[in-house]
Chains A and B, each alone.
Chain A
């Protein structure tokens, strides 16, 4: 069974631009969560989608948004990029709630904002 796929793996953007990251979950998984990982703030929860609905949201500004499609693939978008958005963005998928099902992480997308 293929794992969680994230594209692209690396991305360089300029301040003020916007970016879209993609996540393809493991087949059959309906829940997709996104995390931001930085050296300063560590791992922070962005949001979780289940069956195309946002179920949980972290404490990030509105510039960070996401969506999930009917095939469970998910995208996250960051508008008006800031230098501080440089991070590793991790996507994780599971069959359902984390307290009931294991969450599998992708390798991440490394975003660099210059």
Chain B
């Protein structure tokens, strides 16, 4: 079945860039997502990219997709303490039942 892998932890200094990586196995993935979960809260969609795109930029966020290697990354520029959260990579395939598969989540810790 589908599998989405992420590293579990990332620690960065405030003001630096953060890069969170994700790999997936389903070559038919149509959409790839990044969700953010703050403490005690549900997940919120941060950004997404279609599988026919290589890059998407949205303010401080840059998503890069290497479809050949099935590798997705999320770069957060000028990381702030408010960015501390768990970031989930997810993939979805259109057609049939639409059930996104999520990774384990990467805990981003931003310290002053």
Q: Do A and B bind each other?
A: no
